[in-house]
Amino acid sequence: MTVSAFNPPQRILMGPGPSDVSPRVLEAMSRPTIGHLDPAFVGLMDEVKARLQYAFRTKNDMTMAVSAPGSAGMETCFVNLVEPGDTVVVCINGVFGGRMKENVIRCGGKAVAVEGQWGRAVDPQALEEALRAHPEASVVAFVHAETSTGAQSDAADLCRIAREHGCLTIVDTVTSLGGTPVLVDEWGADAVYSGTQKCLSCAPGLSPVTFSGRAVEKVRNRARPVQSWFLDLNLVMGYWGSGAKRAYHHTAPVNAVYGLHEALGILMEEGLEAAWARHARHHGALKAGLEAMGLSFVVPESERLPQLNAVTIPEGIDDAAVRARLLADYGLEIGAGLGALAGKVWRIGLMGHACNRRNVLLCLAALESTLSAMQAPIETGVAVDAAMSAYG
């Protein structure tokens, strides 16, 4: 039988994830698979843990990568920290906050939704009021970087408010980790999850998570076992936990862990602060170009994520047709709107390895030529210059 190999087309990934994966990460992932309890792999797990502590800015011992994508990190936090009957205040300012609420309900918890405006940060005052109205609440959940709109919330403030009301926090940092400051210990956040495929520029499939001592305590003292066997931290801790002899729980995706180790190594070489500064710099140039073209941002400037730029689609322009052309003519992927913003915005990612000057200029030029060919009401001939002057 003759079968053909799958050879993916060459793309530049400037959507909401996955982002371009560094060749160094791809090369690391192609190294020989070894046993997941091999002493060499156990040593690698310890290094990955230390590197994740660096990325998350935490000393939490319970820091590891869940063997599944970001959504599984989300689920890990909820199934472990929410018991049936628990009241959880969920801040919702986009698609991912909505998923958090769904998680609470499926865990048998009572979700109190703090509904915010899409495209805005979570309002701390609204959280404060919800907690006053619900003194029985034990957990507060919110999304730090809402990828569906491009808004960033003030995690330090939200964690402080939650703590003042005796609540643990669950924080989604899938899109922020490696792109904008995620300061787990400084915030005093309790259960924080992320993903490998956004600003860490690693292949999709793993979810870094970290749990504070308070959160681990709560998981250890649950009245009933965690409903999910696979995501039960009491069991996973025996596998990823330090010191103690590792016990078989599941088989880690060995080569994916090689990739994460390399991606975190790249982040450490650059330095977290330098990575944050790079995301801010290229966002500044992209923004200058998009605005010169006449496109406008969904999120007010002070609440905007540099790594996820949601801009409104010009009047009368077919969203899908533009994205299809960018893909066909330039190999360039940008994201569509999600949820309430579907068909209304594009989401242009500047994440990790893909966040560079070449991509900013290519995206502006490609978007301009595509839109002007469709007679869109935009300014032409100015975007690339505006971006160049933003670079200075």
Ligand X SMILES: *Cc1c(COP(=O)(O)O)cnc(C)c1O
- Chain residues that interact with ligand X, rule: CB under 6 A: 17, 69-71, 74, 96, 143, 147, 172, 174-175, 195, 197, 204
What Cα–Cα distance (Å) separates residue 292 from each residue in 60, 65, 122, 358?
A: 45, 41, 29, 18
Q: What is the number of residues in the chain?
A: 392
Residue keyed to tokens 């805005």? 120
Other CB atoms within a 10 A radius of the CB of residue 69 amount to: 18
In the complex, the smallest distance separating the C-beta of residue 351 from ligand X, rounded to whole angstroms, is 10
- Beta strand pairing status for 332-336 and 12-14? parallel
Q: By C-beta, is 204 or 314 nearer to ligand X?
A: 204
In the complex, the smallest distance separating the C-beta of residue 199 from ligand X, rounded to whole angstroms, is 10
What tokens does 173 get?
A: 């940092």
Q: By C-beta, is 69 or 253 nearer to ligand X?
A: 69
Q: By C-beta, is 195 or 289 nearer to ligand X?
A: 195
Q: By C-beta, is 70 or 259 nearer to ligand X?
A: 70
The C-alpha atoms of residue 102 and residue 255 are separated, in whole angstroms, by 32
In the complex, the smallest distance separating the C-beta of residue 74 from ligand X, rounded to whole angstroms, is 6
The C-alpha atoms of residue 111 and residue 265 are separated, in whole angstroms, by 39
Q: Which of 12, 52, 28, 31 is nearest to 267 (CA)?
A: 52
In the complex, the smallest distance separating the C-beta of residue 37 from ligand X, rounded to whole angstroms, is 26
What tokens does 76 get?
A: 């890990």
Q: By C-beta, is 104 or 383 nearer to ligand X?
A: 104
φ/ψ of 332, rounded to 5, equals -105, 125
The C-alpha atoms of residue 27 and residue 7 are separated, in whole angstroms, by 16
What Cα–Cα distance (Å) separates residue 286 from each residue in 17, 70, 244, 385, 391?
A: 18, 27, 49, 11, 10
Helices then strands, counting H and E runs in the chain, come out as: 14, 13
Q: By C-beta, is 41 or 142 nearer to ligand X?
A: 142
Q: By C-beta, is 197 or 359 nearer to ligand X?
A: 197
In the complex, the smallest distance separating the C-beta of residue 246 from ligand X, rounded to whole angstroms, is 25
Q: By C-beta, is 60 or 194 nearer to ligand X?
A: 194
In the complex, the smallest distance separating the C-beta of residue 95 from ligand X, rounded to whole angstroms, is 8
Report the residue number whose CB is nearest to ligand X: 70
In the complex, the smallest distance separating the C-beta of residue 78 from ligand X, rounded to whole angstroms, is 12
User: Cβ(297)–Cβ(150) under 8 Å?
Assistant: yes
In the complex, the smallest distance separating the C-beta of residue 195 from ligand X, rounded to whole angstroms, is 4
User: Cβ(177)–Cβ(199) under 8 Å?
Assistant: yes
User: Which amino acid is located at 119 in the chain?
Assistant: G
